[in-house]
Amino acid sequence: MLENTLAAFLGVFLLGLFGVTPLGMGLAGLAIVLGPACRRVHPPAGAVALLGVLLKAPPVFVGAPAWWGRCRWS
């Protein structure tokens, strides 16, 4: 859940810096690097960061992917 949240934060952060541009979308791939750095590997986190950029996600998106999935299966 930590990596998913960090990836969502990265996506919203990149959206704020670069908007929906090829550079912003390319840098969203850094979310895959965050996993081993945080000792958490969750491959779909890269997609979460990319979706944050592509969907022009609001800041609430940072907690939403992880918490929606967690609440859904609880």
Structure-block tokens of residue 10: 């990265």
List, for residues 63-74, the tens digit of each pLDDT value.
775 566 555 544
Which uninterrupted H or E stretch holds 73?
helix 64-73
For residue 26, how far is the Cα from the chain centroid?
A: 13
List, for residues 26-48, the tens digit of each pLDDT value.
888 877 777 777 777 777 777 78
Q: How far apart are CA 28 and CA 70, in angstroms?
A: 23
